[in-house]
Structure 1
């Protein structure tokens, strides 16, 4: 779920609007959490694929 679609349980507004203190706190927490971006995910997938190919080659 993306940040722009989250609805606050406290005020029923979008979290990105920051209508209440709960929205603002949630927005800052979600932005600060980092997460994994698509480029990092692609790099990780390539790394896993390379490791699997290497193990298949070494193993037999």
Structure 2
């Protein structure tokens, strides 16, 4: 896109369409990763809560 090579209109449009496709695929992957991260954070919170509930009482109290 930033190159100095002269492209005819058809070549330029094909290149732009390819970049748009890459951008869309990247946006979809980002969304999938956000969902995966949210689930992992929820799982970690659940494990933390369960650990706290099942921790032995503090000694010497």
Decide which structure has greater helix share.
Answer: 2
Provide the TM-score with structure 2 as the length reference: 0.37
Provide the TM-score with structure 1 as the length reference: 0.38
If you compute each CA radius of gyration, which structure gives the higher value, 1 or 2?
A: 2
